[in-house]
Amino acid sequence: MEWIDPLRNMSLGVSHPAPESVASSELSSVFNNDEEWYDARNSLVDTLKHRYTPNGPEDDTFTVLRVFVMKLPKDGQLALMSEIYDLMDDPPKLRQLRNFLVGAILKPMKAAGGKGPKTPITPSPHAAARDEVLLSMTTIEPSSRKDQPRLKANCLQREGYRCALSRYIDMNMRHKVSASTAPTTKIRTHCACILPFALGNFDEEKAQGTENKAMIWWALYRYFPDLKGQIGPESINQCQNAITMWTALHEEFGCFNLALEPLGNDRYQVHWLICEGISIPPIITFTSNDPSVPLPDPKYLWCHFRVAEILEVSGIGQKITDTMDSEAWDPENIDPNGSTDIGSILSRKMLTGI
């Protein structure tokens, strides 16, 4: 079956409101210790809470910005805090900032990782970023599905032909596992990408799609700066970005209902973000059956884990899920009598109401 990019129809939305100066004037790391850092962050959130004027009861701008500030890695927090400080007295632009974060990070990650719809994203956060995105479009290269069979084979060998989380063996590879060490349960596995494959796949001949993917990666590098220079659309199919998983676990991981929090030394805390799922150990230790194949990179799993937390705590994840569920009831064909609400259908398909 031909693979269809779940993000192929993304359209640009409102731009990020921050002026060009913000791109190069992040908050200086002048904090002497963690206590000063936490105080400054809490002070910003408190100021935002009292000074931001919501645009109606459904306006979740403060909640979304607060969760991002609290959950992003420290360098990403600094970038976002500098933007919020600059826009503190401009509620419409703060709403634009909220829409950028949701449109450029949360919607694409959730839709690309799960079985989601085609979702719109916002363009560059500010004037300087727009130039950077256009420049990156001249060098950005996509990944190919053709690389994935080899990727899966390498990861299967690394994991000892087992699901890395449950340790159940792949039923198609049971003949490669010693009967004395293999669990009795046999399952089907997938090669699960930590940062979704769809973020690296696009048609180079379509300028819109290329620009959209460049925009997503610009946002990821800005708010998750440890990713820069380590992974991009052209290198999404790397063993450090892949884990052999039981198909049932892969679906939950791709939807950000399941996440792994790095603890150090290739150990990870298992988090079921939405509800308790399949029984697996609370602490996972990754080991390699083939030292030539590198283990999953904790930087990528940190990004996945933090996005999963932001989706849950902000409520955006549930909104996306509810919209996807509602879309399943939409008619496939337009009623000729004109009764079909095309606007609502398109809104659900593209997640424009979130």
Distance of CA 345 to the CA centre of its chain: 24
Q: What is the mean pLDDT of each run of 10 residues along the chain (354 residues)?
A: 56 58 48 82 95 94 98 93 92 93 91 54 53 45 68 95 93 83 80 88 53 83 95 92 95 95 97 83 95 97 98 94 66 47 43 62
In a domain? residue 328: no
Q: Is 75 helix (H, G, I), strand (E, B) or coil?
A: helix
What is the Cα–Cα distance from 124 to 131, expressed in whole angstroms?
9
Separation of first and last alpha carbons in the chain: 31
Q: Are strands 267-272 and 189-193 parallel, antiparallel or unpaired?
A: unpaired
In a domain? residue 177: yes
In a domain? residue 304: no
Closest CA to 82 of 167, 142, 19: 19
In a domain? residue 259: yes
Cβ atoms of residues 17 and 80 within 8 Å: no
CA torsion sign for 97, 102, 103, 109 is: positive
Helix-, strand-, coil-residue percentages of the chain, each rounded to 5? 50, 10, 40
Cβ atoms of residues 221 and 327 within 8 Å: no
State residue 210's pLDDT score: 64
Range list of H helices, the chain = 34-51, 61-71, 74-87, 91-101, 107-113, 127-136, 148-158, 207-223, 247-254, 298-314, 316-327, 342-350
In a domain? residue 94: no
Distance of CA 254 to the CA centre of its chain: 9
In a domain? residue 34: no
State residue 220's pLDDT score: 95
| Counted domains in the chain | 1
Q: pTM of the entire structure? A: 0.83
Cβ atoms of residues 267 and 285 within 8 Å: yes
State residue 117's pLDDT score: 36
Q: Is 201 helix (H, G, I), strand (E, B) or coil?
A: coil
Distance of CA 101 to the CA centre of its chain: 11
Give me the domain span that covers residue 273. Answer: 145-209+231-297
Within 10 Å of residue 49's Cβ, how many Cβ atoms? 12
DSSP class of residue 292 equals T
Within 10 Å of residue 227's Cβ, how many Cβ atoms? 20
291 membership: H or E segment, kind and range: none
Q: Which residue has the tokens 């974060």?
A: 101
In a domain? residue 163: yes
- 8-41 burial code (b ≥16 CB/10 A, e <16): eebeebebbbbeeebbeebbeeebeeeeebeebb
State residue 56's pLDDT score: 92
β-bridge partners, 267: 264, 285
Q: Is 307 helix (H, G, I), strand (E, B) or coil?
A: helix
Q: What angle do CA 81, 87, 89 make, to 5 degrees?
A: 125
In a domain? residue 17: no
Cβ atoms of residues 66 and 45 within 8 Å: yes
Cβ atoms of residues 154 and 148 within 8 Å: no
Which pair of structure tokens corresponds to residue 143? Answer: 């990944």
